């Protein structure tokens, strides 16, 4: 028995010594597991429900819903408030100017939209003037009624993906997820919890485009996130 145990320990030691970085989940995504295909199928079914959804008025105004993008096994989930002009056209969250900045922020800590999961509080584009969907600068935050109607889709995404960490982008997503009235300026960078999942609020990339001074705070939050995921951060975005 003792000899068998010693052999097992030697085997495990050899396994650990010969493993490489990619096996240590440093990229924010869990290793694919037997349930991955099932999760992907259930997310696809949920996306079809969103495609057919008219539970609030945004459903009849949108061009395309922006359901979510990324890995069903993501260790980190980023949540924004809602699709804008470009997202409405392309049917994917964070694909406009702010989305390109988010891609750079992710890359600076070794992540990408393929390895994390990105979603919004509401799936359809809230517009100031729904009669003019071609107009630029027509975005607005979702109303409490629209958030209430859409919220269950996000909860189902979270329940399926079960991320280790949620990062909320901006004040609307942070207020909705935490049920708080605290301003994003006050609570960004502070670890909170949502249903036993660690949650880190930070600024929305669109806020960084308006005020580049905020970049240093987001960089500090991303280093913090990277540390939590267990690897050193790279260069400043």
Binding site for ligand SF4 (CB under 6 A): 50, 53-56, 58-59, 65, 122-124, 146, 149-150
Residue 88 in tokens: 């409405």
Question: Quick one: 152 or 186, whose CB is closer to ligand SF4?
Answer: 152
Question: Quick one: 42 or 100, whose CB is closer to ligand SF4?
Answer: 42
Q: How far is the CB of 32 from ligand SF4 (least distance, A)?
A: 28
Question: Quick one: 28 or 65, whose CB is closer to ligand SF4?
Answer: 65
Q: Which residue is nearest to ligand SF4 (CB)?
A: 59
Question: Quick one: 46 or 233, whose CB is closer to ligand SF4?
Answer: 46
CB atoms within 10 A of CB 42: 16
Considering Cα of 156, then 157, then 160, then 162, what sign does the dihedral take?
negative
Residue 129 in tokens: 């003037």
Q: How far is the CB of 159 from ligand SF4 (least distance, A)?
A: 17
Q: How many residues does the chain have?
A: 237
Contact 217, 203 (CB under 8 A): yes
Q: How far is the CB of 47 from ligand SF4 (least distance, A)?
A: 10
Question: Quick one: 110 or 130, whose CB is closer to ligand SF4?
Answer: 130
Q: How far is the CB of 102 from ligand SF4 (least distance, A)?
A: 21
Q: How far is the CB of 95 from ligand SF4 (least distance, A)?
A: 17
Q: How far is the CB of 66 from ligand SF4 (least distance, A)?
A: 10
Torsion on CA atoms 56, 59, 65, 71, rounded to nearest 10: 30
Q: Among the residues of 53-187, which ranges form H helices?
A: 58-61, 85-90, 97-108, 144-161, 171-178, 184-187
Write the burial class of residue 62 (CB in 10 Å: 0-12 exposed, 13-18 middle, 19+ buried): buried
Residue with tokens 């930070």: 202
CB atoms within 10 A of CB 16: 8
Question: Quick one: 112 or 143, whose CB is closer to ligand SF4?
Answer: 143
């Amino acid at each position: 028995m003792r000899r068998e145990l010693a052999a097992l320990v030697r085997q495990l030691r050899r396994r650990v010594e010969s493993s490489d970085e990619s096996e240590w989940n440093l990229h924010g995504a869990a290793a694919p597991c037997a349930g991955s295909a099932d999760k992907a199928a259930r997310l696809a079914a949920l996306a079809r429900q969103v495609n057919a959804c008219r539970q609030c008025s945004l459903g009849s105004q949108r061009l395309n819903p922006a359901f979510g993008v990324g890995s069903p096994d993501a260790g980190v989930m980023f949540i924004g408030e809602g699709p804008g002009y470009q997202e409405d056209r392309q049917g994917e969250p964070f694909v406009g100017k702010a989305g390109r900045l988010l891609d750079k922020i992710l890359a600076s800590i070794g992540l990408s939209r393929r390895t994390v999961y990105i979603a919004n509080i509401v799936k359809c584009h809230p517009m100031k003037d729904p009669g003019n969907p071609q107009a630029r600068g027509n975005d607005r935050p979702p109303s409490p009624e629209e958030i209430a109607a859409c919220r269950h889709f996000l909860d189902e995404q979270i329940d399926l993906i079960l991320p280790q960490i949620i990062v909320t982008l901006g004040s609307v997503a942070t207020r909705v997820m935490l049920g708080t009235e605290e301003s994003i300026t006050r609570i960004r960078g502070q670890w909170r919890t949502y249903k036993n999942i660690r949650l880190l609020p930070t600024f929305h990339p669109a806020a960084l485009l308006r005020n580049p001074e905020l970049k240093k705070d987001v960089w500090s939050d991303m280093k913090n996130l990277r540390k939590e995921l267990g690897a050193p951060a790279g260069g400043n975005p």
